[in-house]
């Protein structure tokens, strides 16, 4: 029997909001835009692309450049602000398979995990992101279930009937995406649990 663990990344597997806030703030200060954390939390965090296009009027090319700057600051200036909840107790048990399913870039998440834990840990984790620089394929963001369907597609051929699936999400969008995915494949998935991760139970590796 294998146990599959499908984790959201931001605010589930890692508490990244403070680091992201500082990174976006610094990047956008270069364009004369300033804001405080509550504004970032309410209007930018959930969909920065939409904010940059609709509220700020940036072009697609400008958004790409802004996000490059944000990622530079994220990795170099504010990486230390990330609080990690990676379930290390699961990594070295062959029964467990860890998959990160995120609205953000798969490449960025891989870089973050590698920087913190090294290539040995990264090699034990699959990452499904809404986009990747190494692929032309883009997936719809949560609450659409497409990211979960793509992850399931990778493993369904080797899944046995008694295998177990755990899904961990913190947001309404993520929980909705996971629920829609489970509804679609409920006949194929006989054992599964959907976990709502909150700051009250953030120690998901226990």
* CATH number reported for the structural domain that contains residue 25 in this entry: 1.10.150
The confidence band for 160, taking pLDDT boundaries of 50, 70 and 90, is confident
3-state secondary structure of 159: coil
Cα→Cα distances 201→53, 166, 170, 198, Å: 35, 15, 10, 5
| Cβ-Cβ contacts under 8 Å for 44 (sequence gap 6 or more) | 24, 35, 51
Domain boundary (80, 100, 117) is at: 80
Q: Do residues 97 and 136 share a domain?
A: yes
- pLDDT of 205 higher than 80: no
Residue 24 lies in a domain: yes
Rounded CA separation 157/155 (Å):
6
Query: What are the structure tokens assigned to 138, written together?
Result: 């883009």
Q: Do residues 54 and 70 share a domain?
A: yes
For residue 61, give its domain range.
Answer: 17-80
Q: Do residues 68 and 127 share a domain?
A: no
Residue 190 lies in a domain: yes
Under 8 Å between Cβ of 189 and 178 = no
Chain segment 120-153, per-residue pLDDT in tens = 999 999 999 998 877 778 899 999 999 999 999 9
Q: Do residues 91 and 178 share a domain?
A: yes
Rounded CA separation 160/188 (Å):
10
Residue 141 lies in a domain: yes
Chain segment 1-25, per-residue pLDDT in tens = 899 999 999 999 999 999 999 999 9
What is the reported pLDDT for 203? Answer: 56
Q: What is the domain count for the chain?
A: 2
Q: Do residues 94 and 74 share a domain?
A: no
Q: Which of 67, 139, 60 is nearest to 102 (CA)?
A: 139
Domain boundary (53, 80, 107) is at: 80
Q: Do residues 150 and 194 share a domain?
A: yes
Q: Do residues 10 and 27 share a domain?
A: no
- pLDDT of 66 higher than 50: yes
Query: What are the structure tokens assigned to 197, written together?
Result: 């991760």
Rounded CA separation 178/146 (Å):
10
The confidence band for 164, taking pLDDT boundaries of 50, 70 and 90, is very high
Q: Do residues 63 and 87 share a domain?
A: no
Residue 159 lies in a domain: yes
* Residue 77 CB coordination number (10 Å): 13
- pLDDT of 119 higher than 80: yes
Average model confidence (pLDDT) for the chain? 92
Q: Do residues 99 and 194 share a domain?
A: yes
Residue 206 lies in a domain: no
Under 8 Å between Cβ of 92 and 205 = no
Chain segment 19-61, per-residue pLDDT in tens = 999 999 999 999 999 999 999 999 999 889 999 999 999 999 9
Q: Among all chains, which residue has been given the structure tokens 């599959």?
A: 4
Q: Do residues 100 and 47 share a domain?
A: no
Q: Which of 54, 47, 56 is nearest to 28 (CA)?
A: 56
Q: Do residues 191 and 138 share a domain?
A: yes
Q: Do residues 160 and 141 share a domain?
A: yes
Query: What are the structure tokens assigned to 99, written together?
Result: 């998959």
Domain boundary (36, 64, 80) is at: 80
């Amino acid at each position: 029997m294998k146990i599959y663990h499908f984790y959201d990344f931001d605010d589930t597997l890692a508490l990244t909001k403070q680091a992201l806030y500082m990174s976006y703030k610094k990047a956008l200060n270069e364009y004369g835009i300033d804001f405080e954390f509550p504004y970032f939390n309410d209007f930018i965090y959930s969909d920065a692309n939409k904010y940059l296009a609709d509220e700020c009027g940036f072009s697609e090319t400008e958004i790409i450049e802004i996000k490059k700057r944000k990622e530079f600051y994220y990795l170099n200036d504010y990486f230390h602000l990330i609080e990690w909840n990676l379930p290390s107790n699961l990594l070295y048990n062959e029964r467990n398979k860890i998959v990160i399913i995120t609205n953000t870039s798969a490449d960025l998440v891989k870089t973050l995990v590698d920087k913190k834990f090294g290539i040995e840990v990264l090699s034990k984790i699959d990452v499904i992101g809404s986009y990747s620089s190494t692929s032309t394929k883009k997936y719809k963001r949560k609450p659409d279930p497409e990211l979960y369907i793509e992850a399931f597609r990778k493993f369904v051929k080797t899944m046995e009937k008694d295998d177990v699936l755990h899904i961990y999400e913190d947001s309404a969008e993520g929980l909705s995406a996971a629920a829609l995915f489970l509804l679609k494949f409920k006949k194929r998935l006989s054992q599964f649990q959907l976990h709502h991760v909150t700051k009250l139970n953030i120690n998901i590796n226990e």
